[in-house]
Amino acid sequence: MSWKRAIGSKIRELRIVCCQTSAHSLGARQFVTKNYLDVMDNHPYFSFIVRECKNAQPTVMARYDYGVERRLPVEHMSSDDIETIVEELINEADEINSYVA
């Protein structure tokens, strides 16, 4: 199953933090541009949050059930690398959510 279809049932929130202009955030910006609309079209009530801040270290954060969060730095990574990380975060959801419950 595509991670874009599974995201709404597996995690509560996906947050991307990046800089609007820095080269180290280019992959994060490209990931958002490439995937945001598809995810929101399929899951209009899903929390896909993008936070842009000058010189911010690019980060991907997934929030699971019961407020559990997993945050990974994605500095200097490509959009495809970040997509792989997001897919891994989604695949870990069942284990994390069952462990907390």
Q: Return the CATH number of the domain spanning residue range 3-100.
A: 3.40.30.10
pTM across the whole model: 0.91
Alpha-carbon distance of 71 to 41, in angstroms, equals: 25
Mean pLDDT score, 92-96: 91
Res 99: pLDDT:
77
**Closest C-alpha to 64, from 24, 29, 30, 101:** 101
Cα torsion 6, 68, 52, 57: sign: negative
- Which sequence spans correspond to the domains of the chain? 3-100
> pLDDT of 22-81, one tens digit each?
999 999 999 999 999 999 999 999 999 999 999 999 999 999 998 999 999 999 999 999
